[in-house]
Structure 1
């Protein structure tokens, strides 16, 4: 679906009208094209205090061949130890434009130390390029041993959410909380957040825990993996299938038998296979197990299939309520139970669910849908600590995404949905797919129980 307002904003008259009326100007976001380089532009690295995490950040920047600058001289020793060739920020280089600002805040121990956040970001706040990145790495507040440190670490959420709204120009901002001992688990997340893959992810809180460190081929991070994507015949599901296949996976495209023709089209495009199946069937888990058996088991399961049946609660029929709950959450719950009980998922398997901003913020006329998508979040959070063999479960929660479904929304409501976020535009199905591919890689072993919004930092539910 074309965003006519965005096109209008690029014309001479559009620029004049928008400027004089003070309307938002949606920038065309940079999106992923090829895996190298990870980031096109200079990266400024700083730290409240040099830590093991600082060293790991430097290691990753070295591996991706980043053009790196250091905010302070005490980072030079760590950078040189890991082979990172970096330039110290001086008076001669202080006007450099940066594609990313990366700050290790894990050494902040109390509220007074938060001044170091200001001292790092304030001088360079106007020097971030369009579609740039702001990433703050920090210590998990829940794991802090002192109240003062936990308070200061938690404060960083307010900082990055504000930066995401202030910097504009398609610039994203995130905070990544890293548990002690999980420093070596950050690479997949760091790469994702630096890259154009995360174009529509902003204002998010990501949590990384200690897990097995799994090496992958970063050009094809899903090489050799088998994935099942439900609801894969069109829209977001089709985009997910394409991205997972692009990253190396063999994708089994699953949808109801009535969508067989579209399933065949998608599977042919990505050299995958099809499984025509109603996920609400009592034997759905068993049928998925049969489909993956000949391929060596299942590595990635994406619960994308879902429906809406919108009515205000007073007008909603019991059929509308039950249908949405059954398809959107109960089916996924039953399938998970079967596959986990029968060890269908391979070690280091990945389950990724698609929730919605409606499940976080609620929505008028969507009590059934919002309930089901909030339940998906519950499924993720309560399943995560029960998993073994390196298996993880996470979720993405899309905001306004340009699909056939959103195209049917009345014009005024549709425009509000598009503009009420820090990017001033709707996202694309590929934005959701990129987030799922990030969770799906074996290298994302430290991500478990996360729910990340793909919403351009929507004002709803913020």
Structure 2
């Protein structure tokens, strides 16, 4: 589905109206395609801390060019600042000194990443200063404009060598609709990451289960995981069997038709994965439904059906795959939450409850998973799909514009975040919930 407003403002008359009325003028976002470099331009490095010396080598290993300064007249595609050396509030001036001269020298759709130390692992003035980085990055994300993104990555000292996959995602067009986020590396469980033998196909040899895979966001997740080398096993309800079979045939994948809320669904899924694939490496809980009503008008079936599909089923399926040993060592569990579960939404008490519960599932599992297994969640905001196309025009337009990028995201934006979590190189990325929402202005 397309953004008609964005198409209109790119026309001569649209540009004139936008200029005269001060309307939002969203920048078309760059998105990654196979064969493209991760970063098409120069990354300028700044700051002084634990990672300063290693960053050039890490980026070079990803095929990303970096430098510590910018030639006269040149522009930067991305900025990376190592703030791990800031130990008190006075030291925060280093942020202003580095970024201010460079902000007008950025290319379109630039990337900014600030690297810090988890505040909870520091004390006194250093803890204060590291926590202050969140205010800086979230605010800069709302200032940067021109399709730019800004993120904060807290790296535990023991995980300094496990940042490559996260930098590859956050510095590339794969993170087009992710901004204002705080990512923690090494905060829970493993502090190392597996080597990625093939950056173009990091999931080669892996098996990925995707629920709700026949259409929308689930379809795009399946496509991106297949692009990255995984054998995809798609799951969906009988009503979507035809679409599911067609998609899995196109992707050389496998399919399983069932209702994930059925009493025996977890056992059937586990049995299928064990018998046909010898286990599973990536589990994506994407299936979800909405049954919107204000709480005063909420019926029992509207409430219970949403909780059953969106929350209870992922919890039961995950537990079965873990207890049965079907989830392979070093596995990845990824939940699809929602910004509604973070900031709430009118008429969605049932949906928001279920999606907040998905975040709770991440929190409850991240410290107990065995064998290098990780659990994370993506929380989409307004994503343009056939479902959102049916939303009334005025509501849809407001929903798309109330973020720092003044536009809705695409299903591929969610899928790319899932693929980052799924990568073998993301072994130290555990316990995170990352919003894919263009940095919403309200609620979250």
- Same fold by TM-score greater than 0.5: yes
| Corresponding position: 1:289 with 2:266 | no
Distance 1:212 1:141 in 2: 20
Q: Which moved more, 1:331-340 or 1:389-398?
A: 331-340
Distance 1:285 1:443 in 2: 28
| Shift in Å, 1:50 | 4.1
| Shift in Å, 1:35 | 4.9
Q: Which moved more, 1:276-285 or 1:61-70?
A: 61-70
| Shift in Å, 1:185 | 0.9
What is the aligned counterpart of 2:338 among 356, 367, 383?
356
Distance 2:41 2:323 in 1: 47
| Shift in Å, 1:168 | 0.5
Distance 2:194 2:278 in 1: 19
What is the aligned counterpart of 1:339 among 310, 321, 324?
321
Check the 8 A contact 1:44/1:101 in 2, yes or no.
yes
Distance 1:319 1:56 in 2: 55
Partner deviation per Cα, 1:322-358 (whole Å, 9 max, x = no partner): 0000110001111111111111111110000000000
Q: Which residue of 1 aligns with 2:219?
A: 238
Q: 1:158 to 1:50 in 2, by over 3 A?
A: closer
Distance 1:55 1:385 in 2: 31
Q: Which residue of 2 aligns with 1:3?
A: 3
Gaps of 5+ in 1: 72-88
What is the aligned counterpart of 1:247 among 228, 231, 254?
228
Check the 8 A contact 1:212/1:390 in 2, yes or no.
no
What is the aligned counterpart of 1:157 among 114, 131, 134?
134
Q: Which residue of 1 aligns with 2:281?
A: 299
Check the 8 A contact 2:49/2:86 in 1, yes or no.
no
What is the aligned counterpart of 2:360 among 346, 371, 378?
378
Q: Which residue of 1 aligns with 2:261?
A: 280
Gaps of 5+ in 2: none
Q: Which residue of 2 aligns with 1:76?
A: none
Check the 8 A contact 2:32/2:38 in 1, yes or no.
no
Distance 2:35 2:164 in 1: 15
What is the aligned counterpart of 2:75 among 97, 116, 140?
97
Give runs of aligned pairs for residues 80-95 of structure 1, distance below 5 A.
89=70, 93-95=71-73
What is the aligned counterpart of 1:211 among 180, 191, 208?
191
Distance 1:25 1:41 in 2: 25
| Corresponding position: 1:58 with 2:56 | yes
Q: Which residue of 2 aligns with 1:388?
A: 370
Of structures 1 and 2, the one with the larger relative CO (CA 8 A, separation 6+) is 2
| Shift in Å, 1:186 | 0.5
Check the 8 A contact 1:185/1:213 in 2, yes or no.
yes
Partner deviation per Cα, 1:267-310 (whole Å, 9 max, x = no partner): 01211111001111122121111222231210000000000000
| Shift in Å, 1:184 | 0.8
Q: Which residue of 2 aligns with 1:19?
A: 19
Q: Which residue of 1 aligns with 2:125?
A: 148
Distance 1:65 1:230 in 2: 34
Q: Which moved more, 1:284-293 or 1:429-438?
A: 284-293
Q: Which residue of 2 aligns with 1:44?
A: 44
Distance 1:50 1:166 in 2: 26
SS at match of 1:126: helix
What is the aligned counterpart of 2:387 among 383, 389, 405?
405
Check the 8 A contact 1:111/1:152 in 2, yes or no.
yes
Distance 1:268 1:344 in 2: 24
SS at match of 1:349: strand
The CA RMSD measured in Å over matched residues stands at 1.1
Where has structure 1 moved over 3 Å in runs of 4 or more?
A: none
Distance 2:260 2:84 in 1: 44
Normalising by structure 2, report the TM-score.
0.97
| Shift in Å, 1:36 | 4.2
What is the aligned counterpart of 2:178 among 201, 220, 225?
201
Partner deviation per Cα, 1:373-407 (whole Å, 9 max, x = no partner): 00110011111111110001000000000012211
| Shift in Å, 1:66 | 2.4
Q: 1:157 to 1:35 in 2, by over 3 A?
A: farther
Count matched residues. Answer: 439
Check the 8 A contact 1:211/1:390 in 2, yes or no.
no
